[in-house]
C-alpha cells in the first residue's frame, strides 16, 4: 500500500487501489469501505446542440444557443472520460439516463445533466466493461437513475432493453444482491460490477436497489457540511451502500443568476476552489461518523481520490 505515496514528486496510480488495500480490509462489507465516487459522471460529454433537459422550465427555450452554452458551462461537473475516472480511482458512478425526444432509434439512450450527452449509453457501458475485464479486483458500482423521456408508452420497453443489454454485456461480472459483499467474496466469485437501478418495478436479483445520495443542496460549504454531518449521524448503523455527496448545487430560482452570469467562471472552477476545504472536513468527520461512498465533481483534482482511499488506512489501524 506504500505505492500510493508520491515518488519523485509524482502521484502514483490509483487504478488498482482496491487490490492493494491491507488484507484485514478484504473481509469487511463493501458498505464499510471508503469509496471515491463520481457525481454526474458523464457530464464531461454534454452536447451543446442537445435540447435542454433541465431545468424543465427552460426546455421551451432550447433553440437559443447562448442559453445552451451557459447550461453547458455550469452543468459540466467532470472533466475527463469514464476510463480516465476509473484509472484515477473512482469506483462509484452517478449515471443519469435519458431518451432524446424524436430519436429515430427507438431504444437508443443517452446520459444527461442539463443537456444530453453526445455519446450513447451502450457505448459508455462497453467502455466500462472493457476496463472491468482488465482490472478484475476493482469493484465498480454503477448507479442508474432519473430516466428522463421514458414516456409511458415506451417506458417498459426502454427499461427492459437497457437491463437486458447490461446483463448480456457484463455477464458473469455482475454481482447479484447479497447481504454483506466483501472484496474477498467478490474476488472469489469473479464478480466486479454492481448495478444499482432506481426503479423498483424492474429490480431483479442482479440489480441492486437505489443507493441513497446525501448532499447539501447548496453552494455554501458550511451548509453542505452541516447537512452531511446530520445525515452521517443517522447512518451510524448502516447495512447498505450510501453516498456522501460533496458536490455543491446551484439554486433552482433567480439566485442562480449570481453564478451563471459570471462570464469568466464555470462550475468546475467553483468546485475546485472549495474542494480542498471539503476534503479537510471529510478527514475530520471520518473520525466521528462512518462514511461509505464519498462522491465529488472533478474527481481527478486536488487529491480527492487519495484522500478518500486513505481513510481506509485509518480503519485498518483502528481495528
User: Is residue 305 assigned to a domain?
Assistant: yes
Per-chain mean pLDDT for the chain: 92
Residues 152-177, mean pLDDT to the nearest whole number: 97
Residues 242-267, mean pLDDT to the nearest whole number: 83
User: Is residue 7 assigned to a domain?
Assistant: no
294 by DSSP, 3-state: which?
A: strand
User: Is residue 5 assigned to a domain?
Assistant: no
pTM beyond 0.75? yes
Domain encompassing residue 284: 17-318
Residues 270-290, mean pLDDT to the nearest whole number: 94
pLDDT digits (tens, 9 = 90+) for 48-68: 999 999 888 888 989 989 989
Q: Minimal CA–CA distance to 307: which of 278, 267, 279?
A: 279
pLDDT digits (tens, 9 = 90+) for 5-46: 433 334 468 999 999 999 999 999 999 999 999 999 999 999
| Contact predicate 245/295, CB 8 Å | yes
User: Is residue 208 assigned to a domain?
Assistant: yes
- Return phi, psi of residue 57, to 5°: -70, -10
121 by DSSP, 3-state: which?
A: helix
Sole residue written with cell 472491468: 132
The CA distance from 160 to 156, in Å, is: 6
Is-catalytic flag, 113? yes
H/E element, 145: strand 140-148
User: Is residue 9 assigned to a domain?
Assistant: no
User: Is residue 54 assigned to a domain?
Assistant: yes
Residue 315, pLDDT above cutoff 90: no
Residue 173, pLDDT above cutoff 90: yes
DSSP 201-213: GG--TTEEPPPEE
The CA distance from 75 to 112, in Å, is: 9
More confident residue, 56 or 305: 305
Q: What b-and-e string marks burial along 138-159, b requiring 16 or more CB atoms within 10 Å of the CB?
A: bbbbbbbbbbbbbeeeebeebb
CATH number of the domain residue 214 falls in: 3.20.20.190
Is-catalytic flag, 146? no
Q: Is 147 left (phi over 0), alpha (psi -120 to 50) or beta?
A: left
CA angle 225, 268, 212 (to 5 degrees): 45
Q: Which one from 72, 112, 113, 159 is the annotated catalytic residue?
A: 113
Q: How far is CA 127 from CA 34, 49, 98, 120, 122, in A?
A: 24, 24, 19, 11, 9
User: Is residue 52 assigned to a domain?
Assistant: yes
Domains in the chain: how many in total? 1
Q: Minimal CA–CA distance to 175: which of 132, 118, 233, 123?
A: 132
Q: Which one from 39, 112, 146, 159 is the annotated catalytic residue?
A: 39
User: Is residue 196 assigned to a domain?
Assistant: yes
H/E element, 230: helix 221-234
Residue 86, pLDDT above cutoff 90: yes
pLDDT at 54: 85
- Length of the chain equals 319
pLDDT at 318: 63
| Contact predicate 305/36, CB 8 Å | yes
CA angle 176, 180, 185 (to 5 degrees): 70
Amino acid at each position: 500500500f506504500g505505492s500510493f505515496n508520491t515518488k519523485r514528486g509524482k502521484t502514483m496510480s490509483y487504478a488498482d487501489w482496491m487490490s492493494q488495500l491491507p488484507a484485514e480490509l478484504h473481509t469487511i462489507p463493501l458498505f464499510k469501505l471508503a469509496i471515491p465516487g463520481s457525481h454526474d459522471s458523464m457530464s464531461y460529454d454534454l452536447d451543446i446542440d442537445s435540447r435542454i433537459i433541465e431545468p424543465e422550465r427552460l426546455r421551451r427555450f432550447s433553440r437559443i444557443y447562448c442559453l445552451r452554452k451557459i447550461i453547458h458551462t455550469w452543468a459540466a461537473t467532470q472533466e475527463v472520460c469514464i476510463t480516465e475516472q476509473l484509472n484515477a480511482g473512482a469506483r462509484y458512478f452517478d449515471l443519469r439516463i435519458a431518451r432524446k425526444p424524436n430519436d429515430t432509434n427507438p431504444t437508443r439512450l443517452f446520459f444527461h445533466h442539463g443537456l444530453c450527452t453526445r455519446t450513447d449509453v451502450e457505448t459508455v457501458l462497453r467502455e466500462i466493461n472493457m476496463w472491468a475485464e482488465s482490472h478484475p479486483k476493482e469493484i465498480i458500482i454503477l448507479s442508474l437513475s432519473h430516466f428522463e423521456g421514458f414516456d409511458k408508452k415506451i417506458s417498459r420497453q426502454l427499461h427492459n432493453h437497457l437491463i437486458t443489454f447490461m446483463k448480456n454485456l457484463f455477464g458473469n461480472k455482475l454481482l447479484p444482491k447479497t447481504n454483506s459483499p466483501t472484496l474477498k467474496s467478490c474476488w472469489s466469485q469473479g464478480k466486479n460490477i454492481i448495478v444499482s437501478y432506481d426503479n423498483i418495478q424492474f429490480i431483479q436479483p442482479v440489480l441492486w436497489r437505489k443507493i441513497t445520495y446525501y448532499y447539501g443542496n447548496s453552494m455554501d460549504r458550511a451548509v453542505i457540511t452541516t447537512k452531511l454531518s446530520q445525515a452521517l449521524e443517522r447512518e451510524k448503523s448502516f447495512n447498505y451502500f450510501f453516498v456522501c455527496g460533496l458536490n455543491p448545487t446551484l439554486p433552482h430560482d433567480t439566485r442562480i443568476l449570481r453564478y451563471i452570469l459570471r462570464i469568466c467562471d464555470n462550475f468546475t472552477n467553483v468546485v475546485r476552489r472549495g474542494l480542498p476545504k471539503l476534503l479537510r472536513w471529510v478527514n475530520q468527520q471520518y473520525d466521528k461518523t462512518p462514511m461509505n461512498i464519498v462522491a465529488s465533481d472533478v474527481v481527478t483534482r486536488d487529491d480527492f481520490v487519495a484522500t478518500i482511499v486513505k481513510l481506509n488506512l485509518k480503519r485498518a489501524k483502528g481495528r
